[in-house]
Structure 1
């Protein structure tokens, strides 16, 4: 048993290296999920060593459980969500990883919690725990990974609110072109502060319509005149490890945003040109690409989604998904020099069968963005 403890410790150390060293380093440089070479390698080695530490000579039974779980999840995803041959592809992408994760969680539950002298009761507990775990994991994978992003954004926004209120009450001073300005607290509609790259910045929107970012010395490092609104939040939009600033607006088209990116090379803030052309923009995790969604009329029966990237603080559209109400066509187009070129057409009813359109959009861009990708 002592030698198995050594394997457990070794596996735990490798998994820690994977989580806190390999993944963060590769995440900042990655363009696609295939760039996480060392992350996948250390994760696989760490899991195998840990499994041996827990199971000893029974490790092959554990691997068989994981493999069977992947197959079960794939079959379940295909049968429940799809009714044509091509449904095999999304079922492979989502079902097998969900099954592997479920199998690993099940092995841990079985090892620590599901031991019972009554064989039939133990089998019942194992069956129920596996089904429940598979159901939960499948839902999370069906969300396309965005649940991580949404949870992190929720807690970030919660942290900012108390800071904003304190700063508003303090009526911040700042300098602009050498002049010190001391507004009344009622002149400032929204204030938030954040530490970025080791430096503290304060952002606020003034009643005169101007938006300011100041440093700890109260010097203005960014100013926008009549360009943005008062509803903004700090968020790491491009996932480079540094918070940016995103603006939200209340309009008849939900999700309209403006964006100011923090440029780590120059340690400054720069507005992204035409970002408001891409409502409800979200990153494709593990890449430098993004996608948007917006209504196009007919009570949201007509809609569009654009694939785009940001280069030199300008947006560049690569592709488009569009649906017009009254038709059953889901049209995919490449965008070349701002002109749409037909790429492929799906039956909307078949493409969206069993899933809502937002999940389809996430899955389609995640799996196909490379077909439209442009060198960054």
Structure 2
């Protein structure tokens, strides 16, 4: 009788352990959830993959190692991609968010550490749609600024120690008669200093990047 009781007890314990293991495995699978978007790229002979899952976590994986696993609510469908953002020959990770305003996260690839590092304050609407100006160390952004997107603003900035540092600012207004025009500012210690006001006709004759190239010397090297 005692033997049968011990055998029954062992069977129950074994079943309980196996059930716990299965539950743990199931929970781990649920943790990652359904794959929504996935992009991959080859960098320095290694393949890197960025997966966004329905648990709202972005995973960056290489060689079965998870380099990044972070919560990202409201990730947009289109912008998740690898691109050479800072034009150093290495692919970086870029993705945006759905909101009243569009804003992005950019992670730069470090060739020495083989890791991705986020640009600290780039996920601000004022730095949206940013791109590097050719043959310079400066970037510019574009962000609608009210009036049915007829007004917009743009920041000129550099990236220092993985942080966006503003250098200049353009404000374009075409909704109120007494302030219509494009205003160009130099930024110094968080202060905006007006260096020129341009009429709308002249402002509309050039692309935004050409405007920044035109004013780069006055702003970056006053």
State the TM bucket, normalised to the shorter chain: 0.7 to 0.9
- CA–CA separation in structure 2 for the residues paired with 1:227 and 1:264: 29
Query: Does 2:83 align with 1:235?
Result: yes
**What is the alpha-carbon distance in structure 1 between the residues aligned to residue 120 and residue 140 of structure 2?**
16
Q: Which secondary structure does the structure 1 equivalent of 2:75 belong to?
A: coil
Q: Distance in 2 between matches of 1:367 and 1:297?
A: 26
> Aligned to 1:300, which of 149, 152, 161?
149
Check the 8 A contact 1:306/1:318 in 2, yes or no.
yes
* 1:301 CA displacement: 2.5
**Structure 2 partner of 1:71:** none
Task: Give the Cα separation in 2 of the matches to 1:228 and 1:261.
Answer: 21
Structure 1: which 5+ residue stretches go unaligned?
1-180
Asked if residue 221 in structure 1 is aligned to residue 67 in structure 2, the reply is yes
Q: Which of 177, 182, 203 in structure 1 is aligned with 2:50?
A: 203
Displacement of 1:304 after TM fit?
0.7
Q: Does 1:266 align with 2:118?
A: no
Aligned to 2:186: 334
Deviations 1:237-264 (A, max 9, x none): 111111111102333435x221111112
State the SS of the aligned residue for 1:190.
strand
CA distance in 1: counterparts of 2:74 and 2:44, whole angstroms = 24
Higher strand share: 2
Provide the rounded CA distance (Å) in 1 between the counterparts of 2:73 and 2:218: 35
- 1:230 Cα deviation after fit: 5.8
Q: Give the equivalent residue in structure 1 for 2:217.
A: 370
What is the 5 A alignment of 1:126-137?
Answer: none
DSSP-derived class of the 1:275 partner: coil
2:32 touches 2:53 (CA, 8 Å); kept in 1?
no
Alignment partner, residue 97 of structure 2: 249
Which runs of no fewer than 5 residues in structure 2 stay unpaired?
1-27
Task: Name the CA distance, whole Å, in 1 between partners of 2:74 and 2:110.
Answer: 19
* Contact 1:235–1:245 (CA under 8 A) maintained in structure 2: yes
1:320-375 CA distance string (max 9 Å, x none): 011232133321111122221122222223333xx2xxx4311111233233237x
In 1: Cα distance, 2:98 partner to 2:211 partner: 28
Aligned partner of 1:350 in structure 2 is 202
**Residue 186 of structure 1: how far off its partner (Å):** 5.8
Structure with greater proportional helix content: 1
C-alpha contact (below 8 Å) 2:186/2:193 kept by paired residues: yes
Question: Equivalents in 2 of 1:192, 1:328: separation in Å?
Answer: 43
TM-score (norm 1): 0.46
What is aligned with 2:16? none
Q: What root-mean-square deviation, in Å, do the aligned CA atoms of Structure 1 and Structure 2 show?
A: 2.4
Q: Is the 8 A contact 2:131 2:139 kept in 1?
A: yes
SS at match of 2:211: helix
Could you give the per-residue CA deviations for residues 199-240 of structure 1, whole angstroms, max 9, x where no partner exists?
Answer: 111211122221111111x11112223467263111111111
Moved more, 221-230 or 340-349: 221-230
Shift in CA distance, 350/203, structure 1 to aligned 2, threshold 3 Å: closer
- Show structure 1 runs of 4+ deviating over 6 A: none
Q: Secondary structure at the match of 2:201?
A: helix
